[in-house]
Amino acid sequence: MSKKIVIFDTTLRDGEQAPGASLSAQEKLEVAHQLVRLGVDVIEAGFPISSLGDFDSVEQIARKVKGATICGLARSLNKDIEAAANALKPAKRKRIHVFLATSKIHMKYKLKKAESEILKIAESAVKYARKFSADVQFSPEDASRTERDFLYRVIERVIKAGATTVNIPDTVGFAQPDEFGGLIQAIINNVPNVNKAVIAVHCHNDLGLAVANSLAAIHSGAGQVECTINGIGERAGNAALEEIVLSMRTRKDHFENIYTDINTKEIYKTSRLVSKLTGFVVAPNKAIVGGNAFRHESGIHQDGVLKKRQTYEIISPEDVGFYGEGLVLGKHSGRHALSQRLEQIGFKLNKVQLQNAFIRFKELADKKKEVFEEDLMSIVEEQMKDVPEVWSLVGLDFCGGIGVEPKATLWLKKSEKIFKKTSSGDGPVDACYKAIEKITGIKAKLLDYSIQAITRGKDALGEVNVKLKINQEEIVARAASTDIIEASAKAYLKGINMVLFKAKKAKLIRL
């Protein structure tokens, strides 16, 4: 009989705790909808007690996202549990996830409590959470460093109190795969009522073993795995969803009679979305979703792939929604052809979005000989961003070189009026940003800047990612163009527009 592994995605909670990965409520909602399309079973939407923004985000997701269980995190405190319960009220399927540290080091230095107190608090928290939800998950934080006999007692107690899932976290990424797999097996063998709850795992990547530990746990009997898209998360991150799912799918001989409900064809698109919104660029050599995952430079490898793909590829690119760099459309292609191709790669646009995407496509096709699917994805992502353009770039001129002071002249439009300013800087990008600051009157601190080519070739789209700090708020924005200076200016302007849009929604200023 086949066993389903529950996929618990914590991108919007643990993933967002990664430094610099802050997402707005609208961005979290966008990711949550995509996670449903991906097929995850549980979405941990946030930590409601941590801030009003997090509470609102969880509540919005609970109200608007259907097709998955929506989960909120809480410490083993009544006020936390109440906040989670209130935020989750609109959800059709909801789960409250309570946690409490159980390792000696945490009990002694962080909680300053004895084992007997921890047992009572854990039991009480689960019982209180059950008043608000029939689906309650408990996590003994730092379980992999907790004394086993005490861990068994905690698990037995919380299951008796009503926990339907008990999650075993390797909180600091300390465990080794054989050790962690053995821990899960030991829990199954030594907790008398273990059959009344699902045993889950949550592994961190401090030693690069999060995926390996998660797979070892599944092999030992765990029924749920917690993970994030692209493996993002605190410190070195979490177990990567795409790696866990594809490992089980590819090695069915090793993971016999085990399956998930993940639609793997949505993996690449989900990866791009999370990367775009968080500003965390996916490394080219990242497994499954990295740019080089299905590229072969070695002549021997190329020859083997041409003769029989499976010689050097154990995963089909199409199976994860990675369509490669094949030419799909040209400058003579029409709107209908564009619409059909976009639907084939998973995008359904309304009439306005399609018209805007078509205009952008024609502009790009005039600049590039070949338009790849990655180019189309970048175009669509631009159109689907629900932030109005207060300031838009209508003209750009720059000069620079060795021994020449870099200068940039920009023409920006706001409410049908054109503004022009010239500025110098350390380079053309810096000069552009200073000119934008002069025109808009908005000062932004550039925290991070990165650029990568979406496709190959001299005419490839350059995708610029910026992280800005404006009025104490950190904003991540991205833009693409065959001209990297233009892409840089557009990304910077997007960040400014996002701040203005948020301010308008908060009724702080009038645009």
**C-beta of residue 459 within 8 angstroms of C-beta of residue 368:** yes
Would you say residue 330 has pLDDT above 80? no
Would you say residue 302 has pLDDT above 70? no
- Among 121-135, 163-177, 454-468, 478-492, which stretch is predicted with the lowest mean pLDDT? 454-468
What value does the mean pLDDT of the chain take?
Answer: 89
Hunting for tokens 């177990």 — which residue is that? 239
Q: How far is CA 152 from the centre of its chain?
A: 33
Would you say residue 435 has pLDDT above 90? yes
The Cα–Cα gap between 322 and 288 comes to: 9
The Cα–Cα gap between 318 and 265 comes to: 7
Q: Can you tell me the mean pLDDT for 412-417?
A: 94
- CATH architecture, range 392-505: 2-Layer Sandwich (3.30)
| pLDDT of 507 | 53
User: pLDDT tens digits, residue range 338-386?
Assistant: 887 777 666 777 888 888 888 888 887 777 766 777 777 777 766 655 5
As a whole-number percent, the residues of the chain with pLDDT over 90 amount to 65
User: pLDDT tens digits, residue range 62-79?
Assistant: 999 999 999 999 999 999
The Cα–Cα gap between 453 and 459 comes to: 10
Q: How far is CA 489 from the centre of its chain?
A: 25
Residue bearing the bigger pLDDT, 274 or 459: 274
| pLDDT of 307 | 54
As a whole-number percent, the residues of the chain with pLDDT over 70 amount to 89
**What three-state secondary structure class fits 72?**
strand
Residues 6+ apart with CB under 8 A from 109: none
Put simply, whether the predicted model's pTM sits higher than 0.85 gets the answer: no
pLDDT band with cut points at 50, 70 and 90 for residue 331: low
The Cα–Cα gap between 9 and 68 comes to: 10
User: pLDDT tens digits, residue range 221-238?
Assistant: 999 999 999 999 999 999
The ranges assigned to domains in the chain are 3-278, 323-383, 392-505
Q: What do you get for the CA distance between the two ends of the chain, in Å? A: 61
Neighbours of 286 (CB within 10 A): 19
CA angle 423, 428, 429 (to 5 degrees): 95
| pLDDT of 371 | 74
Would you say residue 168 has pLDDT above 70? yes
**C-beta of residue 14 within 8 angstroms of C-beta of residue 25:** no
The Cα–Cα gap between 481 and 324 comes to: 19
3-278: CATH topology:
TIM Barrel (3.20.20)
Q: Can you tell me the mean pLDDT for 97-114?
A: 96
Would you say residue 458 has pLDDT above 80? no
**C-beta of residue 242 within 8 angstroms of C-beta of residue 267:** yes
| pLDDT of 324 | 55
**C-beta of residue 255 within 8 angstroms of C-beta of residue 223:** no
